[in-house]
Amino acid sequence: ILARAIWGRRLVWAVVGVVVALVYGGMIGGIFPEGDHISWEAHLVGLLGGIWLGQRHA
């Protein structure tokens, strides 16, 4: 949703993107989990895949 807001360049998506960033912004730290038993690579690939799809559909 954030990628769509950035590349979509429409006011509606910008507002939705800001709301999502405010609500879920604290989850960015979850990309790099602190425990040794948690794979941070899967989190990072999920983020990159979401950005790619957002750009592709914009």
State the Cα–Cα distance between residues 43 and 30, nearest whole angstrom: 8
pLDDT for res 49: 92
> In the chain, what percentage of residues exceed pLDDT 70?
86
Q: What is the Cα–Cα distance from 57 to 49, expressed in whole angstroms? A: 12
Which one, of 38, 29, 16, 34, lies nearest residue 6 by Cα? 16
Is the whole-model pTM more than 0.85?
no
| Tally of structural domains, the chain | 1
The DSSP-derived string for 25-43 is GGGGGGGS-SSTTS-HHHH
Q: Find the domain containing 39 and state its range.
A: 2-56
Structure tokens at 24: 């879920």
Question: What is the per-residue pLDDT across 21-46, written as a single tens digit (0 to 9) for each?
Answer: 888 877 776 666 677 777 778 878 88
